Structure 1
Amino acid sequence: MKLQASYGPVFLRIGLGLIFLIHGAQKWMGMEQTIGFFGQEGIPMASFTAYAVAGLEVLIGVAFILGLFTSIAAGVAVAIMAGAILFVNGSKGFAGGYEYDLLILLTAASLLFTGPGALKVPIGKD
């Protein structure tokens, strides 16, 4: 792998990590509203799912930022975003609906295949 190419995933990883970390933290800080929203959207087991998604988003964010277990984090991120499209924004159409979720899903899928790239904490196998 060329040196320059190994830095490409770093920008995606850190940017996506910040997005997941911030969204997960917001869900945690407003858990009552998050549970209510999940219930309103018809998401199965809204209370459990809200806690699970918020916790996973925080963990995914930290993993991406540090470059730890990137492939696992990316796979979970793809699943979460597929759920967001299926249960929340898919019925709203593309523009103004699920386009952001799809972009996040595809970015995570890219990291699933490329791995963390350079500048990662040297723990874990990717």
Structure 2
Amino acid sequence: MIKSKLARAAAVVGASAALVVGVSASAQADSDKQINLPSSRGYMHFHDDGDVFSVCDTKADGYGVTGALWVRNSAGITSQLWTLDDGGDAGCDKKGENIGQLSVYKMEVWWHGGGAAVWSPDWFNE
């Protein structure tokens, strides 16, 4: 019975270590990132110097654009941190978010006129 408990504990520790390595391996080094909507409708941009995100509606078509920032922690739990809308005014809407090294992040952007959301291809951090 003690061997069984030790074996289970070792399996849990091994799985946790594999998850941390997997999260670290999938993260990319810090740099600016951008994802674009089809037909040049808009985009979401991460500016690494200052950790500022921009969401930009680039067409005056009566629809706006929303961007979201997602986070996944070392335990593998993924959640949405926030959303940011742009549309109906000049310029892009911006939001600062301190991107650290303990979690990984992914961007999502969608057009309010329909169609699928666009996601950043990889998780990233600093």
Structure with larger Rg: 2
Output the TM-score relative to the length of structure 1: 0.33
RCO greater where, 1 or 2, for CA within 8 Å and sep 6 or more?
1
Which has the larger helix fraction? 1
